[in-house]
Every structure is written in C-alpha cells, then in structure tokens.
Amino acid sequence: MRLTDIAVRALPLPDKGQRTYFDDTMPSFGIRVSQGGTRTFIVMYGPERIRKSIGRYSIISLAEARTEAKRILAEHTLGRTRPKTVRFDAALAEYFEDLKQRIEQGQNKPRTLRCYKRLINRYFNFGRRQLTEITHEDITRKLPKAPAERNHALVAIKIFLSWAQKPPRRYIPHNPCEGMTSTKRPARKRTLNDTELAAVLRTALENTDAYSRIVALLILTGQRRGEIAALEWPWISTQRTVTLPSWLTKNKTEHTFPYGDMAAAVIEQIPLALRQAGAARLRDHVDVALGHMEAGGALRERLGKHARRMVGERFLMTRLMEDSLDLIEALKASDRRRLNVGAAQLLP
C-alpha cells in the first residue's frame, strides 16, 4: 500500500500483537501498528533484514520519517552504520582487552591501562547504556572539577570513544568528545632556586630508600621520571653511560647519556641482592617505590617531567622540571622537616 497521512491514520489495529505495513513507493520503509493503537515508523535494511525504529507517528510526521529512512538506508549502503548497537560496558571491556594486547606487543605501557581504567571507571560509569546514546553533555557533566584530573579524564574517555568510532568497530558514528579541549593551566613563573634544589638533592643523597634514590637520579641525570623508573641493569654500562631503548623514550629514539661520580654512588647504593637478581628485580624495586609515592601524590603528581640539567655535576642546575616548585610544599610535614628547608639550613 502507499503510505499517506490519511492511510496511516486509517490503518486497522491487529487483534493481537503487531502488524507492519510497508510503503509501495519505498519498500524498506513502513509503519508498525500494535493492538494498543501505537503506530511506529520503521526501516528495514541489510541481508539480515534488520528493522530499526524511527519514531512514533504524531511525534514525527510521515515526511520526516521517510526522510530519516532514506538517510539510514544511504548510510548502510555506504558502510557507515553498524547493524548492532553496543553497550558502554561491553565496548569498554573490549577496549581494555585490546589495550592489553597492544601492551604485550610493546605499543603501550602497562601504566596506560592502569590510568585509563581508574579514570574511566571512576568518572564515566555509564554501565549498560547504549554507546550511541552518550552525548557531549553527558561527558561534560561527569568530568571532575580539578583542572589536572579533568584533563587526564578527558584524554582517557576521548581516546576510548575514538577507538569505538574507528573501523572495523564503528560502534558510534561520531565521537561526542569532538571539540572538547583540555583546561589550560597558567604557566609557572618560578622553579626551585639553587639553594632549594641543593636541599632536596642533599636530603636525597643522605637517605638510602628507593624514594630518595629516584629523586637523586632524576636531578643528577636530567631524565624523565618514567625513564628512571624503568631503568634495567643491562642498560647501565661499565663505561658510566646509560642507554635507554627506543620504546621507552618520548621520541621513540634510542638515547645514550653519561653519568658521573654522584650518580654512580647512588646506583652503587642499590642492594647487592637486587643487582644480582637482574633487570626485572631492579624495575620492581623502583615500581614499588613509585606505587607508594602515587598514593601520597608527592612525586608522581608534583615532580613534573624533567630534572634540571647538570653543569659538571655541581649543584648549579640550569632548570628543574616545571612542576617541581610544589615539591617542598606538597610533601607531608615529616618530609619537610627532613628536607631542612629553613633558610638558615639551606646549602650556600
């Protein structure tokens, strides 16, 4: 039959269940009538003859439903639709599994999975909701208020939704995070001065715990915190050089740098049992320390990216990482006492 407004209103109600009437001029387009009187426009497509609801008659007009049906059929023909919708929790579980595989292949780091799990599960608990139903407003409402945490959370959810949008999945037609940008934080205008940095380094050198060794090596080598945390014994040469593999460095290029007497002394402080155990044990030793610091937020949140570059391995450095100004203030009171940051006790 040819569907017109008059014909749609005159369609008889079935005695039970539902009945679908298709349009002669557009065979894939029709209207489903229930015994209760509800009339819903539908479109059927694909070899599996999938039926998709467009909307109820009277809420949308016949002309609007016909236009929407044509759009859906065109997208299906061009391969832009997915025949089955996916729940948020199911897609997220699939994404984490895919991320695990990329970690095994060396494409991502284990820390990436831990961080993304924490951020998405904490702030974006959409549960069994359909992925296609999540909107820009939904994401915005759930973002945390703290600028730094907001930026990290936005990156995590944006990357996940971008993964869901890409082939071969195409779970969503577009990423609802498109156009959303990170919160800009004002640039710091001050870093630790030489005497403050000397106090931090002196205290780190006086102690033998893993926390202190990490801080000391960050300052004495000028490397990134992730590179120091991942140090393995085979990378450390007897010629007093360290060679970082390409998969670890930010620019994906193998990087060799020298170290001097003070850094050598810190490395020699590593317990002999750990040195004899091999690379994995050394890395475990550092990771345990980082785990404690992550809980306190002292180093992982405050120590930034780069240590100041050494000049002849003296206390005079050209620059400390941008975020290090907060280190002394961020440490708990007992740590501040250990750092001897009073003006009278700072090294000259």
DSSP state of 171: -
Extract the tokens encoding 10. Answer: 């005159």
Quick one: fold of 5-77? Double Stranded RNA Binding Domain (3.30.160)
**Arithmetic mean of pLDDT over the chain:** 78
Q: Helix 210-221 crosses helix 261-268 at what angle (to 10 degrees)? A: 160
Cβ distance 306 to 222 under 8 Å? yes
User: What was the pLDDT predicted at 274?
Assistant: 53
Quote the pLDDT of residue 287. 46
Cα–Cα distance between 24 and 3 in angstroms, integer?
Answer: 8
Sign of CA dihedral 105, 109, 114, 119: negative
Predicted pLDDT at 83: 44
d(CA 290, CA 298): 10
Task: Assign 3-class secondary structure to 74-124.
Answer: HHHHCCCCCCCCCEHHHHHHHHHHHHHHHHHCCCCCHHHHHHHHHHHHHHC
31-45, 281-295, 300-314: which range is least confident on average? Answer: 300-314
- Name the pTM for this structure: 0.48
Nearest Cα neighbor of 309 from 319, 301, 296 is 319
Q: How many residues does the chain have?
A: 348
Annotated domain spans of the chain: 5-77, 88-165, 194-345
SS3 335: helix
Q: Residue 55's beta-bridge partner residues?
A: 41
Mean pLDDT check: name the lowest of 128-137, 232-241, 299-308: 299-308
